[in-house]
DNA sequence: TTGTACGCGTTATCAC
DNA sequence: GTGATAACGCGTACAA
């Protein structure tokens, strides 16, 4: 590979000149479109190699009107949940020849709309993960983002891939109630979080299903530290449902430090089933969410919009109870 | 925001026409370059708003000759180490107005060169994390990637941000030897991994420093499962240094299942200090690596190359011993 | 300060 | 099968 005299990278024109053909032919050879005389094709390829020619992505994008790139907007790249969604999208998209642009709002709610818009400008479509954004802001934003698919949010007319956290929360209560627990604490996520609201809705449903069970909601958060802090606020609950596995981890650690037996004195169930859940002590019982699949399905929906022009049907995942060692029969 | 009759997005020409000014003026207003008559600027902005005009990133990139985007190539987005590097780069880059394109080779060594090349075509520069790529392939690839910075790899002439794993491994032995251990097992990472080689070099050094200590290397891997499997191969070692925290987690779990006391019977030290290390049981002693900083420094080096044209000086991080509960005095 | 006009590197539509 | 040439949408010298 040689660099051109000027020091600039070779362009299609340079190749055309050197191979004594037209730019059109070079383009055809490079893209394998149409059919070109084998002899000429060989000559062109030789020159391409010699000059180290690489098509400019920018020029291509402009000419084609597409970037073959999708954006993924997440609130926090440090969260295993969003990491896996990103990973799922990335893998699925790469199989289709698309690349992924990440945009991490770093929990800065105010920046999200602009961040998403900016991402959309550079991409053909966007996967939006914005659990805290207000419904109002969301519906304002969506029109300018299309094609777009929502993860764990709903908005009329926009394809979505969501987890049925309500069903998950309800199932968690079923599990605990079945073990004899009558006082359950829910360590709530951020109040503004949509997925927290969905869990709360599920708990509401569970209350009517289990009249004898008292379910109290304790403000907590979404991180390990939040979970650790919440250990003191458990009251007389014999079981707790954590907003997610991160919170459960923090709780478990604090409980251990405080000498509280799990599940002897308190049972704990998490949400998500992150990779480390099974390595917690005791191994964490949790409502498993297929996080990578979430990303993969989001990609599918995106592709349907991009190429098919079809707004994909909503996808709903139901969390699956994974019983490990952190839950057990209530002590009496 | 209105959509143009044709259904197409508004272009700078549409705005110019509607505002009765030239495209140049619209461009100036939109970019805040040069100074434009306030009245005209207002008029233009009004039209921009009305038409919902958004500059085309593709056209901009082509005209400017830069994309304001950097690529990050990683071998496995599922690995906390690489996730944090990505995060570090993303956050640092976004502060400078750059976006990040992710490329996950999914451990497919063969695809890495093409993946990196492809990423580079779409970006102004690339951060390459490729621990397994052969030196040969790496040096072949680098020229076509510049500006590029290497993470945990070295190659003449290319800026690098690396962790001194040799010093880390050596320090781990110091710690263990200080606790009286004389038979230490090293759970080796992938043989082709550069960072594994560096750890091995550190162990070699440690051998001469601690003549009385026997250090054996056991083929293992880089994942939790690998660590779990290795539990049976420990022999009579009283302490083990795991390739990374993931491996240590697997080992800890297997040891617990086997009823082996940690650190009573066996001490365990990991590498990286991933977030969950402190929540392992027992809390994991580990050689901490500032993973996010790694990404941030990689970005700094990239920026120096992109804008300054200066090849940044190598950055070297030394792992710090974090003593928790998984290591203790040798039993006698 | 504002407008004209050209260049950025490809792709795609035509004739040939 | 191949070659001109017009888009693609924007930035920017240069001229006015």
Residue A6 vs residue B199, higher pLDDT: B199
Per DSSP, helices labelled H in A179-223 are 194-209
d(C-alpha B315, C-alpha B317), whole Å: 7
- The gap from C-alpha A181 to its chain's centroid, in whole angstroms, comes to 33
Closest residue (CA to C1') to nucleotide D9 in the complex: B59
3-state helix, strand and coil shares in percent for chain A, rounded to the nearest 5: 45, 15, 35
Find the helix or strand (DSSP H, E) in which A24 lies.
helix A23-31
At A67-76, the pLDDT tens digits run 999 999 999 9
Closest residue (CA to C1') to nucleotide C3 in the complex: B22
Which residue in B59, B99, B104 is closest to A103 by CB distance? Answer: B99
Closest chain B residue by Cα to residue A64: B58
Residues in B closer than 8 angstroms to A147, CB to CB, are none
Protein side of the strand C interface (CB < 7 A): A 8-9, 11-13, 23-24, 27, 30-31, 33, 53-56, 58-60, 62-64; B 20-25, 28, 34-37, 40-41, 59, 62-63, 65
CB-based contacts of B97: which residues, under 8 Å, 6+ apart? B68
pLDDT score, position B7: 64
Which residues on neighbouring strands pair with residue B217, listed in sequence order? B186
Q: Mean pLDDT throughout A4-31?
A: 89
Is B119 in CB contact (< 8 Å) with chain A? Answer: yes
pLDDT score, position B205: 97
Confidence of residue A103 (pLDDT cuts 50, 70, 90): very high
Binding-face residues of A in 187-246 toward B, CB within 8 A: 224
Residues in A closer than 8 angstroms to B143, CB to CB, are 1
**Interface contacts (A, B; CB < 8 Å):** 120
Residues in chain B: 332
Distance A43 CA to D7 C1' (A): 28
pLDDT above 80: residue B116: yes
pLDDT above 80: residue B85: yes
- Same fold: B3-64 with B165-289: no
d(C-alpha B296, C-alpha B291), whole Å: 9
At A22-69, the pLDDT tens digits run 999 999 999 988 889 999 999 999 999 999 999 999 999 999 999 999
Percent of chain A with pLDDT over 70: 98
pTM confidence score: 0.95
Residues in A closer than 8 angstroms to B224, CB to CB, are 275, 279
d(C-alpha B61, C-alpha B46), whole Å: 25
d(C-alpha B312, C-alpha B106), whole Å: 29
Q: CATH assignment of A3-64?
A: 1.10.260.40
Percent of chain B with pLDDT over 70: 98
d(C-alpha A260, C-alpha A325), whole Å: 15
CB-based contacts of A95: which residues, under 8 Å, 6+ apart? none
Report the 10 Å Cβ neighbour count for B314.
14
Nucleotides of C under 7 A from a protein CB: 1-5, 7-13
At B220-246, the pLDDT tens digits run 999 999 999 999 999 999 999 999 999
d(C-alpha A115, C-alpha B49), whole Å: 18
**Pair B45, B29: CB distance under 8 Å:** yes
Residues in B closer than 8 angstroms to A65, CB to CB, are 58
d(C-alpha B203, C-alpha B201), whole Å: 5
pLDDT above 60: residue A96: yes
Domain extents in chain A: 3-64, 69-162+291-317, 165-289
- State whether residue B221 is helix, strand or coil: coil
Q: Mean pLDDT throughout B95-107?
A: 96
At A250-267, the pLDDT tens digits run 999 999 999 999 999 999
Per DSSP, helices labelled H in chain B are 12-19, 23-31, 38-51, 57-64, 80-95, 112-122, 135-141, 165-178, 194-209, 224-230, 245-257, 291-303
pLDDT score, position A3: 47
d(C-alpha A257, C-alpha A238), whole Å: 18
Number of helices followed by number of strands (H, E) in chain B: 12, 12
Give the CA count within 13 Å in the CB-facing half-sphere of A141. 26
| Fold entry, domain A165-289 | Rossmann fold (3.40.50)
At A294-331, the pLDDT tens digits run 999 999 999 999 987 788 999 999 999 999 999 999 98
Confidence of residue B6 (pLDDT cuts 50, 70, 90): low
Confidence of residue A2 (pLDDT cuts 50, 70, 90): very low
pLDDT score, position A7: 64
- Cβ separation of B99 and A100 shorter than 8 Å? no
| Best CATH choice for the domain A69-162+291-317 from the list 3.40.605.10, 3.40.50.300, 1.10.1740.10, 3.40.50.2300 | 3.40.50.2300
Binding-face residues of A in 251-280 toward B, CB within 8 A: 252-253, 256, 275-276, 278-280
pLDDT score, position A310: 84
Residue A174 vs residue A309, higher pLDDT: A174
Number of helices followed by number of strands (H, E) in chain A: 12, 12
Percent of chain A with pLDDT over 90: 92
Which residue in B77, B121, B144 is closest to A90 by CB distance? Answer: B77
Nucleotides of D under 7 A from a protein CB: 1-5, 7-13
- State whether residue B267 is helix, strand or coil: strand
Q: Mean pLDDT throughout B126-143?
A: 96
Closest CA–CA distance from residue B100 to any residue of chain A (Å): 6
pLDDT score, position B8: 78
Report the 10 Å Cβ neighbour count for A314.
14
pLDDT above 90: residue B126: yes
Residue A92 vs residue A35, higher pLDDT: A92
Residues in B closer than 8 angstroms to A279, CB to CB, are 224, 249, 252-253, 276, 280
Distance A41 CA to C15 C1' (A): 22
Average pLDDT over all residues of chain B = 95
How far is CA A86 from each of CA A103, A148, A294, A295, A300, rounded to the nearest angstrom?
Answer: 10, 15, 9, 6, 14
Distance A10 CA to C12 C1' (A): 22
pLDDT score, position A6: 52
pLDDT score, position A151: 98
pLDDT score, position A199: 98
Q: Mean pLDDT throughout B42-49?
A: 96
């Amino acid at each position: 590979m040689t660099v051109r005299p000027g020091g600039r990278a070779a362009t299609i024109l340079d190749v055309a000149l050197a191979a004594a053909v037209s730019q059109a032919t070079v383009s055809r050879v490079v893209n394998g479109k149409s059919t070109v005389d084998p002899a000429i094709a060989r000559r062109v390829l030789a020159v391409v190699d010699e000059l180290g020619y690489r098509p400019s992505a920018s020029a291509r994008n402009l000419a084609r009107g597409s970037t073959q790139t999708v954006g993924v907007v997440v609130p926090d790249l440090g969260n295993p949940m969003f990491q896996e969604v990103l990973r799922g999208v990335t893998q699925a998209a790469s199989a289709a020849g698309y690349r992924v642009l990440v945009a991490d709002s770093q929990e800065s709610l105010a920046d999200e709309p602009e961040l998403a818009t900016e991402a959309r400008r550079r991409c053909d479509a966007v996967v939006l993960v914005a659990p805290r954004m207000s419904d109002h802001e969301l519906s304002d934003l969506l029109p300018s983002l299309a094609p777009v698919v929502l993860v764990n949010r709903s908005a009329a007319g926009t394809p979505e891939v969501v987890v049925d956290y309500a069903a998950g929360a309800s199932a968690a209560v079923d599990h605990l109630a079945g073990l004899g627990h009558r006082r359950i604490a829910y360590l709530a996520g951020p109040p503004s979080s949509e997925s927290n609201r969905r869990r709360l809705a599920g708990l509401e449903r569970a209350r009517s299903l289990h009249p004898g069970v008292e379910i109290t909601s304790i403000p907590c958060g979404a991180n390990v530290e939040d979970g650790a802090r919440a250990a003191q606020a458990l009251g007389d609950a014999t079981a707790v449902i954590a907003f997610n596995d991160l919170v459960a981890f923090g709780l478990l650690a604090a409980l251990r430090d405080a000498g509280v037996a799990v599940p002897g004195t308190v049972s704990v169930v998490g949400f998500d089933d992150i990779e480390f859940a099974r390595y917690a002590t005791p191994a964490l019982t949790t409502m498993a969410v297929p996080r990578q699949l979430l990303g993969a399905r989001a990609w599918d929906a995106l592709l349907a919009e991009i190429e098919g022009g079809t707004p994909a049907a909503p996808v709903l995942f139901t969390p699956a109870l994974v019983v490990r060692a952190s839950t057990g029969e209530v002590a009496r």
